[in-house]
Structure 1
């Protein structure tokens, strides 16, 4: 908190200096913040699902048809209008806080425009991230879509009704992609089909979209309950189920035969440009290329391999590292669970031992509550490990650490390393960073939601290195789990770049993952298919973590005894997520004032 207050005091002081020097400068800062607010208001209307996720419920009844030509044109015009508006401000006349927000908005607008020119709408969904899956999560209840009032229920019905046009547009764009030769790999399409079929079941007891009807508030009148029930049965049976079924049938009968056999973007027309775009988006680091990322990954793999050898020797294992991996994967003692509840209880015990020491490294805790839950069954087959879904303190909605447990007997404590994974996905990783950002009253509304994965994934991976300070990694197997997690992120650099530049096939990338860490073939396959579906996203973790470690080491050397780890963490989190080049400029200023 001290560092956050100090950062805010510097902002206030600088604003005061500018006011004294020029009343015009103060006016320009106010004008810029009005621009930020207008941008947020317009963006919320343009992207209603994003607004709902952010806790803005004015558009809960809407679903943007984001791949349709009118929506794309409106989005492009929106980006250009705000780029033109930003040019009217002299960046050097702004306060530190406003310069950060100016740079962030400019970055968002440029990358948004570029995405439209690359026709990314030709591949509108995959098995990891898509509007169909997001709607399923919202419709299950307990998430960002509220179900507390009659209006809430009607809003969701209206949003569901808008899905059929979205599905038709997705099919039209898939067809355009086929014509242009820009298609998904067959391996991904094969995973998408059963997901969609599961969401198209006609049995109301099994279809997730009927779930809100089982939780209608008791305060609703009998007539209201009857009307809502009839409305939902009509919308789901005549709209949602046919639309999901239509998508599944299209993928199976039309798209799958046209899908590509290769794994990477390099095989597509313009694929190299698309991959370079994703590198810029997900690393926010100027000058990186697929080749440089690939080489850096190999360097990190070699370093972590040496640390793994050290742990192997400490445990007295006499075989090779690959034999040690096999031992870790197959040792029954490392798979001690028999029920899903035992797995969840193990994660709760990790949370309990971390909590008492958090105050040593952070000056305050998030207001947003935190929970550990089992992952919904329809997602367990596609997800490789636990993940975090952000909450919202204002709505009393907790951040959730979701744990997939398709078979408790196969959950291995070393992969994903349970302690390291909890620190990364939960506390103090994603839960702290995202909650602080949402709760921060000193940044514009458009920046309340995380947007730069190199920052927030880099932060989460960096926090794994704090485990020993947080009462973790006392067991060498958990230290190995932490190294296994870090190795996963390092091999991601190699595999992601390898796949999308043509250096690796899908099968070669899977084999590479297995050779360098304790990982099953099934998990390695899920990981590689994730990189195929979300090019460049896997580069975020290591790129961001390496930058944060570089900054910490640089300031520790620069400040000597004046360096305070708690204050460093507070400063990193003080202004929310941002591109890494913007972060370094800001943090250099922070270090200069310590």
Structure 2
């Protein structure tokens, strides 16, 4: 999945993605008059520019991720009622302003912008009506995790100038305030019965107490990383001052904050956490889940409709897995076939992490010639493959962290490799690369960010159904790109697609009360060759982020439907590279808006 760098769960449940994302100039306060210029509401684009300026100030972590470095020292407390009230007024105000424009009088691109903007703001206003603010973070997303990624020196926060280093200390101070408010919101949730499942809290506590978080020697801290990587042009005096300030901040602010969070979770919150698995079990839970299902799929499909679709897709993919089982000469049941794959040496050809990373680089080399036939437009942004950082590797999934539009920060494909010798290609190695890296998230996100003709809210938008749907669709391009020739890799691709089909069943099952955590894990084990540990981690992710897992399959099926429609409709006039270019050139959008846009394109061919 795409890595979403956002200030908090409220923001994550809104839109700027998942996370769903740019210059690296020295961070300074904005130039005189720049805010006033950006605040101009002359015309529709003026409205959009004004909105984006205010949004960036309200969500400076996302601004940093998008390369706007004016607010790199800021970390507003998004855990307060005042902050939520500010957002509500902000969104409603811009909905009202938008309504003053005559949509019928706009050109086609502005109509797309109008529709996306209206949809987006209505979703945000509706999201603020929910009581999810009582769940400030969990084991998968949230500021305590984002702080580690930003502050390590390897993420979105720039550490190139003395001002950059000083800016980070401002965010550290903001984090200590945020943590106190987050604990307060957790306590409000404990009183109201809006609490996280116990199985998730158990995973959160070690994250807060990780050895590079809870240190007595500041040089051993994750947050000491920037000190170990000082730019060469820093003076000795600056290095000395900054080093001392970072050591002090680590020992007096960072470590105590993580300790406070870990102790609270262990001593107060864990005993009050719930044994149930789905969000339906908390007050207002069914309404919360209906919202998230709509938010992540950008459709009006009900949880029941999505559940039924998932069952059909699982049945279709099981039939293809049965065929591959026969092709590989296995005589037992599909469940026994899955178990055999976990121990088959042919499926585990690596010994070291570097060998796994080299395997991914080989995939990139293989598909490169065929990519040129499928895409007329390719990103300018550089791309890298990296191993996931040690502090979060044990509980992380492979992910893509977007680069900056100006190319100064590459798009990064992160691969967690806690046990490299056990890395099994039937987990979907080739399909994983197509999804998370090229042409999946890297192409889609980079092309969108590089399109400076889009309003900012579209240039940096993130809609799960199209973002993840596109990435899953890219997995289906494997054979056309020269992959899936190894039957183990193809089984891995089937496994990856099966995962997305199973998600429709287990996510809806968990959050409507049809499945417990244990039943959902068993269902995944019955239909996939992953390990019980992997399936447990996956189910706990779906428990933590209701509805997010629905986006992939819903979006993929829509894109496949559109391709099939136009291939039939246009015949010899259909060109796959033109279809892909048109699909991506205007950025991601709700699926209904996408379909309208693509139908108009097809009529012009």
| Structure-1-length-normalised TM-score | 0.93
1:59 and 1:113 map into 2 onto residues whose CA distance is 25
Q: CA RMSD in A?
A: 1.2
Give the gaps of 5 or more residues in structure 2.
1-39
Q: 2:386 is paired with a residue of what secondary structure?
A: strand
Matched, 1:549 2:555: no
Q: What do the CA deviations read for 1:449-478 (whole angstroms, capped 9, x no partner)?
A: 241010010000000010111110111111
Structure 1 match to 2:467: 456
Question: Which stretches of structure 1, 4 residues or longer, exceed 4 Å deviation after superposition?
Answer: none
Cα drift, residue 119 of structure 1: 2.1
- Is 1:573–2:587 an aligned residue pair? no
Q: What does residue 490 of structure 2 align with?
A: 479
Q: Does 1:104 align with 2:121?
A: no
Q: Which residue matches 2:289?
A: 275
SS of equivalent residue, structure 1 residue 414: helix
User: 2:305 and 2:536 mapped to 1: Cα distance?
Assistant: 24
Measure the CA separation in 1 of the matches of 2:550 and 2:214.
34
What is residue 233 of structure 1 aligned with on the other side?
A: 247
Q: State whether residues 459 and 545 of structure 1, in contact with CA within 8 Å, keep that contact through their aligned partners in structure 2.
A: yes
Residue 358 of structure 1, aligned match among 353, 371, 392: 371
Matched, 1:165 2:182: no
Render the CA deviation track for 1:539-594: whole Å, top value 9, x for unaligned: 00000001101111111111122111111101100100001111111111111111
- Partner Cα separation in structure 2 for residue 115 and residue 249 of structure 1: 30
**Kept after mapping to 2: 8 A contact 1:123/1:183:** yes
Q: Which residue of 2 aligns with 1:489?
A: 500
In the alignment, structure 1 residue 216 sits paired with structure 2 residue 255: no
Corresponding residue of 2:199: 187
- 1:90 shift after superposition: 1.2
> Within 5 Å, which residues of 2 pair with 1:400-439?
400-415=412-427, 417-439=428-450
Rounded Cα–Cα distance in structure 2 between residues aligned with 1:465 and 1:208: 38
Q: Deviations over 1:292-334 (max 9, x none)?
A: 1111100000000111111111122221111111111111221
- Inter-partner Cα distance in structure 2 for 1:341 and 1:228: 34
Q: How does 1:261-410 map to 2 (within 5 A)?
A: 261-286=275-300, 288-383=301-396, 385-410=397-422
The counterpart of 1:144, out of the listed 121, 136, 156, is 156
User: Aligned residues, how many?
Assistant: 564
Distance 2:96 2:508 in 1: 35
Residue aligned with 2:426, SS? coil
Task: Give the match's secondary structure for 2:484.
Answer: coil
Matched residue SS, 2:113: helix
Tell whether the 8 Å contact from 1:354 to 1:471 is kept in structure 2 after alignment.
Answer: yes
Matched residues in 2 for 1:268 and 1:223: separation? Answer: 55
Equivalent position of 2:11 in the other structure: none
| 1:153-192 deviations in Å (ceiling 9; x for gaps) | 0001111111011001100100111111110000000000
Q: Would you say 1:252 and 2:266 are equivalent positions?
A: yes
- 1:319 is paired with a residue of what secondary structure? coil
Alpha-carbon distance in 2 for matches of 1:278, 1:164? 30
Instruction: Tell me how far 1:395 sits from its aligned partner.
Output: 4.7
Q: Per the alignment, do residues 58 and 395 of structure 1 end up closer, same or farther by CA in structure 2, a change over 3 Å counting?
A: farther
Instruction: Provide the rounded CA distance (Å) in 2 between the counterparts of 1:466 and 1:356.
Output: 14
Give 1:143 deviation, angstroms: 2.0
Deviation at 1:234, TM superposition (A): 2.0
**For residues 296 and 203 of structure 1, what CA distance do their matches in structure 2 show?**
53
Query: For structure 1, which runs of at least 5 residues remain unmatched after alignment?
Result: 1-27
User: Counting helix residues as a fraction of each chain, which structure ranks higher?
Assistant: 1
The CA deviation at 1:201 is 2.6
Match of 2:29 in 1: none
Work out the CA distance in 1 between the residues paired with 2:405 and 2:84: 33
**Residues 99-127 of structure 1: per-residue CA shift (max 9 Å, x gap):** 11111111221111112111221101011
1:461 and 1:227 map into 2 onto residues whose CA distance is: 48
